[in-house]
Structures are given as structure tokens and as C-alpha cells.
């Protein structure tokens, strides 16, 4: 596990009151995008101060916020570590609660409710950086060398990146958690399907979502996400 999320200096530019928020946002994005993985140890306060040109107080406040969200945990005398998304304190779904096909159908319904409105917000608030990341993830999905494993990573990465584009950190947390809960089951389902046909359809659906988000078509993005998740649930045998 790496302790260094990057050595390039990235000074934050904001009022003093906004610096903890900006640093927390930057770290949250690295965690939820997978750049910082579960179990990774964060750099020292000094390293953060040098990289982002902020004070130790700013670093401590940012880390405190992410610890409260359940994304970081401290080990006395050792350091601060990234927590897995499925270890967030505010939400817990046990294996017993996901033991029947109906349980996955219910969770997919929740996913549809959350992500359709997330797509609406992403269309409203997305940045050029968000669009670039979403395009890159679709490229990964459509790659001729994509495997089921790499496709699923790109697929879930797209949904996390779309949530980040909504500028709502709680949507990012909830969607990341639900995706993590569904991930293994979706992988098993894809193994039973014709990989190239299934992923081609899904990648096209993601492209429609991105087109709407780029055009800032909020209703279109919402509808496109709904169609994608309904289609996905049907392909996985989860349609009600």
C-alpha cells in the first residue's frame, strides 16, 4: 500500500475558512475514485502542508471531517488510514440482508432512485474536469482489451465520478456503498452473459448519460440514467 497520493504540489486557492473544505473534497475524491485505496496510509501532516500549501490546522480539520464520514480511521501511534466504503459507520447492509434475489431487486430500486437524481445534479454542476474523467471511463469500458474485471471497475468508476460531479459528498458516499454491495453479484451475473454484447449495450447507455450531462440537460440525464439502470436490472434478472 502506498502512503503517497502524489508528490506534485497542488496549492489550494481559497479563503482561509474554505481551505479545510477544499482539502477534504480533494482527499474524498482520491478515496472514492480509488486513487487512494482501502488500507492505504495517508502521508504525514507535514507532507500535506507542503503539497497543498496549507497549515497543519487545515490538514487536521480536513482529516477530522473525513474521519467523521467514515472514510478515514486513525491508529494510535501509527497514522491515519483509508477505510473501505463498506465500513462507513452511517450505513450497514449485512450479508444476511442480501441473501435473496428480492433483496438485490430492492437495493437496485434504491440505486435507481438515488442515481437518477444524481445524474440530474451532475448535469447542473459538472465541470470540465468531471467531463474529462467520465469520457476516460467510457473509453475504458469500450476498450478492446477490456476484461470483465476491468469493465466493472470502469462502470462503477463512472457512477462514482458522476456522483462526484453532483458536488454532493453524501451522494458520493451512498452510491459508492451501494455499488460496492452489488459489485460481486454483478460480476457473477456478467460471467453468465455474452460479455461483448452486454458491455457494448451498457457502454452506449453510459454515453447517452454523458451526452446529457455535458449538454446540461438535467431531465435528459435523469431519464437516461433511469433507462440505463432499468436495462441493467433486466440484464441481471432483477427486473420486477
Q: Which three cell numbers stand for residue 120?
A: 440530474
The whole-number pLDDT of residue 14 equals: 47
Report in angstroms the alpha-carbon separations of 208 from 8, 31, 47, 88: 35, 27, 41, 32
Q: How many residues does the chain have?
A: 240
The whole-number pLDDT of residue 190 equals: 66
Domains of the chain: 16-83 (1.10.10.10), 96-235 (1.20.120.530)
- For residue 227, pLDDT over 70 is answered with yes
| Cα-to-chain-centroid distance, residue 153 | 10
> Binning pLDDT at 50, 70 and 90, where does residue 1 land?
very low
- For residue 8, pLDDT over 60 is answered with no
Instruction: Tell me the C-alpha distance between 196 and 84, whole Å.
Output: 30
This model's pTM is above 0.75: no
Instruction: Tell me the C-alpha distance between 73 and 84, whole Å.
Output: 10
Convert the pLDDT of each residue in 132-164 to its tens digit.
Answer: 999 999 999 998 888 888 888 899 899 999 999
| Cα-to-chain-centroid distance, residue 26 | 13
- Range of weakest confidence among 39-48, 62-71, 102-111, 190-199: 190-199
Instruction: Tell me the C-alpha distance between 25 and 164, whole Å.
Output: 10
Convert the pLDDT of each residue in 63-112 to its tens digit.
Answer: 998 888 778 998 888 999 998 655 555 556 666 776 677 888 888 899 99
The packing angle between helices 218-235 and 195-214, to 10°, is 170
Is 159:32 a contact under the CB 8 Å cutoff?
Answer: no
Percentage of the chain beyond pLDDT 70 is: 81
Q: Which three cell numbers stand for residue 235?
A: 440484464
Amino acid at each position: 500500500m502506498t502512503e503517497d497520493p502524489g508528490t506534485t504540489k497542488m496549492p489550494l486557492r481559497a479563503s482561509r475558512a474554505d481551505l479545510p473544505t477544499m482539502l477534504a473534497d480533494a482527499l474524498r475524491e482520491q478515496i472514492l475514485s480509488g486513487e487512494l485505496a482501502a488500507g492505504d496510509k495517508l502521508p504525514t501532516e507535514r507532507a500535506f502542508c507542503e503539497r497543498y500549501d496549507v497549515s497543519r490546522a487545515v490538514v487536521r480539520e480536513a482529516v477530522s471531517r473525513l474521519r467523521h464520514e467514515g472514510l478515514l480511521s486513525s491508529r494510535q501511534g501509527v497514522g491515519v488510514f483509508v477505510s473501505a466504503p463498506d465500513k462507513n459507520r452511517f450505513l450497514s447492509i449485512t450479508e444476511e440482508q442480501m441473501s435473496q434475489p428480492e433483496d438485490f431487486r430492492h437495493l437496485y430500486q434504491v440505486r435507481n432512485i438515488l442515481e437518477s437524481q444524481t445524474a440530474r445534479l451532475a448535469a447542473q454542476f459538472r465541470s470540465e474536469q468531471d467531463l474529462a474523467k467520465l469520457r476516460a471511463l467510457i473509453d475504458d469500458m469500450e476498450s478492446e482489451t477490456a476484461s470483465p474485471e476491468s469493465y466493472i471497475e470502469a462502470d462503477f468508476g463512472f457512477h462514482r465520478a458522476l456522483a462526484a460531479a453532483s458536488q454532493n459528498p453524501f451522494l458520493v458516499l451512498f452510491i459508492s456503498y451501494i455499488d460496492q454491495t452489488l459489485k460481486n453479484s454483478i460480476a457473477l451475473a456478467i460471467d453468465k452473459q455474452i460479455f461483448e454484447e452486454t458491455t457494448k449495450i451498457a457502454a452506449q447507455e453510459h454515453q447517452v448519460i454523458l451526452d446529457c450531462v455535458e449538454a446540461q440537460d438535467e431531465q435528459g440525464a435523469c431519464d437516461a440514467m433511469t433507462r440505463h439502470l432499468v436495462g441493467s436490472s433486466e440484464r441481471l434478472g432483477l427486473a420486477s
